[in-house]
Amino acid sequence: MMETLLAQNIVLSDKDFYRISDLVYEHCGINLHTGKKELVRARLAKLLRQRNFKTFQKYIKYVFADKNGKEFSILIDSLSTNLTSFFREKQHFDFLREKFLPLLMERKRKNRNFRIRVWSAGCSSGEEPYSIAITLLEEVAGQGRWDVKILATDISTTILDTARKGVYGPKRIAPLSGMQKNKYLMMHRVNREKVFEIAGSVRNIVIFKHLNLMKDWPIKAPLDFIFCRNVMIYFDKPTQQSLVNRFWDLLDSGGILFTGHSESLTGINHKFNYVQPTIYMKP
Ligand SMILES: C[S@@+](CC[C@H](N)C(=O)[O-])C[C@H]1O[C@@H](n2cnc3c(N)ncnc32)[C@H](O)[C@@H]1O
């Protein structure tokens, strides 16, 4: 309470706000326009208090001086939104199950290609790639010799640690069905509280890696589908345009790009076929 009150008193000048927003934009493409100034102030003021900085100027100087970039990562973490959930935007998983995977598998079987490659770009704390993995295990595994891998990447090392641990509280796992909970989660007790750990069968097909979408992507094409959901919304149009072009290059013909609920490709130059809202196919 006291900390919140004190944090409210730290002033963020326009000059300091622009220094922060320029730095964040250059590094990770997140577009902090002037409308976000109060949000930036509120989120960073807490960080300043915790680290005993009295002014933004002193804090910014410290961030710039920190050559290993650790403090900068902490700054980015506190400004970016990691909100996610299991089977978020259920229509994407229904589409995979009912429409896309049966056709993909049929096509691949004919070509005797049993490899399925997926990318969850901006995977946050892991719920998205684990939901994809469960869907693939249910639809694909157990049907012969499929080789399935999901690459899950994020810019935040802290959130990736959480994702790799793969341990979630009871509320977070609520979207899973009873059968999925039994099959793909292991229940433990920590200080009498129930927690649920992602089972090995799911973990084994997910590989977490640190990746900044603004930099190089050391990823082998072709991919069968890409989830980049609720990430591009933080970027400006030119950055979104460049990402969409790069996703196109990585996808196989017939591959799918899934975007977040408020991220249509309207206003972006692209050659994808529209399948249904937020689902795009490379012809
Ligand atoms: C709101 S979460 C979305 C999580 C998940 N895709 C979903 O829809 O539930 C956005 C994620 O994008 C990540 N992110 C933001 N900028 C990024 C960048 N330049 N490169 C990689 N990841 C980034 C954030 O760290 C955060 O975990």
Average pLDDT, the chain: 93
The model's confidence at residue 142, banded by pLDDT at 50, 70 and 90, is low
Question: How much is the pLDDT for 5?
Answer: 42
Q: Is the pLDDT of residue 207 over 70?
A: yes
Q: Is the pLDDT of residue 8 over 70?
A: no
Probe ligand 1: pick from 28, 32, 82, 154, max atoms within 8 Å of CB?
154
Q: Is the pLDDT of residue 202 over 90?
A: yes
Structure tokens at 70: 């650790």
Domain 2-79: which topology? Chemotaxis Receptor Methyltransferase Cher; domain 1 (1.10.155)
The reply to whether the predicted model has a pTM over 0.85 is yes
Question: How much is the pLDDT for 10?
Answer: 85
Residues in contact with ligand 1 by the CB-under-6-Å rule are 28-30, 80-84, 88, 122, 124, 128, 154-156, 159, 211-214, 229-231, 260
Q: In three state form, how does the secondary structure of the chain look? A: CHHHHHHHCCCCCHHHHHHHHHHHHHHHCECCCHHHHHHHHHHHHHHHHHCCCCCHHHHHHHHHHCCCCHHHHHHHHHHCCCCCCCCCCHHHHHHHHHHHHHHHHHHHHHCCCCEEEEEEECCCCCHHHHHHHHHHHHHCCCCCCCEEEEEEEECCHHHHHHHHHCEECCCCCCCCCHHHHHHHEEEEEECCEEEEEECHHHHCCEEEEECCCCCCCCCCCCEEEEEECCCHHHECHHHHHHHHHHHHHHEEEEEEEEECCCCCCCCCCCCCEEEECCEEECC
Question: How much is the pLDDT for 69?
Answer: 83
> What spatial distance separates the first Cα and last Cα of the chain, rounded to whole Å?
55
> 149: CA distance to ligand 1 center in Å?
20
Domain with CATH 3.40.50.150 in the chain: 90-169+198-281
**pLDDT (tens digit, 9 = 90+) per residue, 225-282?**
999 999 999 999 999 999 999 999 999 999 999 999 999 899 999 999 999 999 999 9
Q: Which residues lie closer than 8 Å to 100 by C-beta, 6 or more apart? A: 225, 256
> 230: CA distance to ligand 1 center in Å?
7
Write down the catalytic residue from 19, 43, 97, 164: 43
Quick count: other Cβ atoms within 10 Å of Cβ 72?
Answer: 17
Nearest-CA residue for atom 9 of ligand 1: 84
The model's confidence at residue 67, banded by pLDDT at 50, 70 and 90, is confident
- Does domain 90-169+198-281 correspond to CATH entry 3.40.309.10? no
**pLDDT (tens digit, 9 = 90+) per residue, 83-134?**
999 999 999 999 999 999 999 999 999 999 999 999 999 999 999 999 999 9
Write down the catalytic residue from 41, 154, 224, 229: 154
> 39: CA distance to ligand 1 center in Å?
18
Question: How much is the pLDDT for 160?
Answer: 96
Mean pLDDT of 154-178: 96
Q: Is the pLDDT of residue 148 over 80?
A: yes
Domain with CATH 1.10.155.10 in the chain: 2-79
The model's confidence at residue 41, banded by pLDDT at 50, 70 and 90, is very high
Probe ligand 1: pick from 124, 127, 247, max atoms within 8 Å of CB?
124
